[in-house]
């Protein structure tokens, strides 16, 4: 996941660099932030941004996903804990039997096989639960991403931005808050999500 974010951030940096290069005033033209803004406005290039951490904190669908993730994590942990306790009880029972000499060699071998089977079952169940959980989270994250993209397409029909990017600390070093559409995005997404749930 971190490698994917690095690739994505690198790609965004290259795109931003290319866009800045394409829209930077030519030699001899008046340089400076005001002329750059004027040139970009005249050329039709407009870029807005939103703060993803604010979307994560205030978009109702994200809040619901976090609550669902917590509930699923608790259920997974409870199931694995129950399986682990069962295995521990059997192990304690067999150890107690072995210490008192109540187990024959044949029974001891059978107990060892049963413990290996329980251990294998626990590991495969844990892997299956983690895989299902990861698939679920990825699917829901893609739904959220699609909701944001669909809303931005609709939102941008009136605003006519060339690009709308997600602000990530460390990727961009300056931002003009005049182009921050985060609150519009939060309000619109929550309104749309609420109406779709009804």
Average pLDDT in the 110-139 region? 94
**Model confidence, pTM:** 0.66
Question: 17-31, 34-48, 61-75, 150-164 — which is least confidently predicted?
Answer: 17-31
Ramachandran category for residue 135: left, alpha or beta (phi over 0 → left; psi -120 to 50 → alpha):
alpha
Q: What is the rounded average pLDDT for all residues in the chain?
A: 82
CA angle 152-158-164, nearest 5°?
35
Q: Is residue 187 part of a domain?
A: yes
User: Quick one: which of 140, 143, 152, 142 has its CA closest to 188?
Assistant: 152
Q: Is residue 188 part of a domain?
A: yes
| pLDDT greater at residue 196 or residue 58 | 58
Q: What confidence score (pLDDT) does residue 61 get?
A: 93
Q: CA 31, CA 12: separation in Å to the nearest integer?
A: 25
Q: Is residue 152 part of a domain?
A: yes
Q: Is residue 9 part of a domain?
A: no
| pLDDT greater at residue 182 or residue 197 | 182
Average pLDDT in the 3-9 region? 58
3-state secondary structure at position 180? strand
How many domains are there within the chain? 1
Q: Is residue 2 part of a domain?
A: no
Q: Is 60 exceeded by the pLDDT of residue 6?
A: no
| pLDDT greater at residue 25 or residue 161 | 161
Q: Is residue 4 part of a domain?
A: no
Q: Is residue 178 part of a domain?
A: yes
Q: Domain range holding 84? A: 44-197
pLDDT band at 34 (very low <50, low <70, confident <90, very high): very low
Q: What confidence score (pLDDT) does residue 160 get?
A: 86
Q: Is residue 67 part of a domain?
A: yes
Q: Is 70 exceeded by the pLDDT of residue 108?
A: yes
What DSSP letter does each residue of 31-51 carry, written as one string?
PSHHHHHHHHHHHT--EEEEE
Residues 6+ apart with CB under 8 A from 147: 61, 189, 192, 193
What DSSP letter does each residue of 161-173 carry, written as one string?
-SEEEEE-BTTBS
**What six digits make up the tokens of 89?**
């009880």
**What six digits make up the tokens of 137?**
């989270």
What's the length of the chain? 198
Q: CA 196, CA 191: separation in Å to the nearest integer?
A: 9
Q: Is 70 exceeded by the pLDDT of residue 66?
A: yes
pLDDT band at 30 (very low <50, low <70, confident <90, very high): very low
| CA-based max dimension of the chain | 96
Average pLDDT in the 86-92 region? 92
């Amino acid at each position: 996941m971190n490698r994917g974010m690095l690739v994505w951030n690198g790609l965004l940096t290259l795109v931003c660099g290319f866009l800045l290069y394409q829209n930077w005033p030519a030699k001899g033209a008046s340089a400076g932030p005001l002329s750059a803004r004027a040139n970009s406005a005249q050329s039709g290039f407009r870029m807005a941004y939103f703060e993803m951490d604010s979307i994560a904190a205030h978009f109702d669908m994200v809040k619901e996903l976090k609550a669902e993730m917590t509930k699923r994590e608790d259920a997974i942990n409870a199931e694995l804990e129950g399986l682990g306790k069962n295995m521990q009880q059997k192990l304690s029972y067999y150890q107690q039997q072995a210490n008192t000499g109540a187990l024959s060699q044949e029974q001891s071998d059978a107990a060892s096989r049963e413990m290996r089977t329980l251990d294998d079952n626990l590991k495969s169940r844990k892997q299956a639960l983690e895989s299902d959980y990861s698939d679920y989270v990825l699917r829901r994250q893609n739904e959220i991403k699609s909701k944001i993209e669909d809303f931005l397409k609709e939102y941008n029909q009136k605003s006519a931005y060339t690009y709308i990017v997600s602000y990530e600390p460390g990727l961009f070093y300056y931002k003009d808050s005049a182009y921050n559409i985060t609150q519009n995005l939060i309000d619109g997404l929550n309104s749309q999500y609420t109406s779709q749930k009804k």
